[in-house]
Copies of this chain bind each other. A is one copy, B any other.
Amino acid sequence: MKPTLQAVADAVGVSRSTVSNAYSRPDQLSTALRERILEAARQLGYPGPDPTARSLRRGVVGAVGVLFTSQLSYAFTDPFAVRFLAGVAGAAERHGTSLLLVPLPDDAPGARRAVESAAVDGFCVYCAGDESWALDAIRARNLPFVTTAPRADAGPADRFVGIDERAAARTAAAHVVGLGHRRVALLGDTVLPGVPSGELRLADVTDVPHPTTRGRLAGFADAFAEVGVAWPELTLLSAAGNSRTAAAAAVAAVLAGPDRPTAILACSDVLALGVLDALAGTGGPPCAVTGFDDIAEAAEAGLTTVRQPAEEKGRRLAELLLDPPEDPAAGHVLLPTELVVRTSTGPVPRR
């Protein structure tokens, strides 16, 4: 039987309130009495107020939830996610708040229940697809939340820290355009749900459901449209998952085909690295490749990419949740991005 606060009170001969005060409001009692209480607690092996009971009573938990709309282990597998989390963790640490990583089961009702039953004071939602159900559940609980992207269903009070996906992607494509490339392929993760890795035809970029992927593809397309290369002339590739192997599989056929692109623009560095893998295993003329995020491996691989500040994104997001700004406009943050040109993008090879 674990000793309770009551037991300590009895042992010392004071009321529960006084023992409670000894822990939570030291200024509410004499030092002598407090010492006596703490000593008795030590004797009894009382480990201090029960966190759950305290939370119930106070109505505050002291933890924020972090939601990844996919496997939780993804959070530790994807290099960008890891750096993002490092930022979140740093901010939480400074604030003295714990981080609750909530695993979401595959089934929708189970996932919703997971969100409903997380003991947290708020949520950081890492937007990785369609998580509106999660936001609904969070709103139903009346908990504050922040997201990593502006959302279509967002109200003016909803806070986020994101980037201008479209404009950022456009800079990468503009660079490729400037190198003279016109026959190009765009590669995204799961451009349409359920399609296998490989080529895909889509009437319009607006048909891409995933907002981040849609934004980046649209940005790529913008730069090519400007030089007269319209959407239908761009080869669209989809990888079944954000992994090097999926990316390599997605580009294999088109690299071997008759209309081999001279450049491939990927929606993430992980995908781009997969393209480089595929290229390394193939002969043929050089092919320019761009990525997105600028993870550590990108630099080593000489990958031209769009850098976004991963840790800062996490840090500022957590801060937005933990220290809400007075001004609602300050809750809408777009971080700067930067095109990083390395060796993976060269001019169109002469034939």
Task: Determine how close the nearest CB of chain B comes to the CB of A293; give it in whole angstroms.
Answer: 16
Q: Which single residue of chain B is at the shortest CB-CB distance from A120?
A: B51
Interface positions of A from 7 to 66, Cβ below 8 Å from B: 45, 47-56, 61-63
User: Hey, which bits of chain A sit against chain B, CB under 8 A?
Assistant: 2, 45, 47-56, 61-63, 71-73, 75-77, 82-83, 85-86, 89-90, 92-93, 96-103, 105, 113, 116-119, 137, 140-142, 300
Given A100-B98, A141-B47, the answer on whether A117 and B75 have CB atoms closer than 8 Å is: no
For A100, list chain B residues within 8 Å (CB): 63, 98-101
Q: Given the known inter-chain contacts A61-B52, A89-B72, A92-B72, please indicate yes or no for A101 contacting B102, CB distance below 8 A.
A: no
Residues of chain B with a CB closer than 8 A to A76's CB: 82-83, 85-86, 89
* B55 & A119 in contact (Cβ 8 Å cutoff): yes
Residue numbers in B under 8 Å from A83 (CB-CB)? 76
* Closest B residue to A76 using CB positions: B86
Interface of A is mostly: mixed
Q: Give this chain's copy count.
A: 2
Residues on B with C-beta less than 8 A from A90 are: 71-73
- Residue in contact with A48 in the complex, picked from B98, B101, B116, CB distance below 8 Å: B116
10 pairs of residues in contact across A and B, judged by CB atoms under 8 Å = A2-B142, A48-B116, A72-B99, A73-B90, A76-B82, A89-B101, A92-B101, A92-B103, A97-B103, A119-B119
Do the beta carbons of B56 and A53 come within 8 Å of each other? Answer: yes
Closest CB of chain B to A63's CB: distance in Å?
A: 6
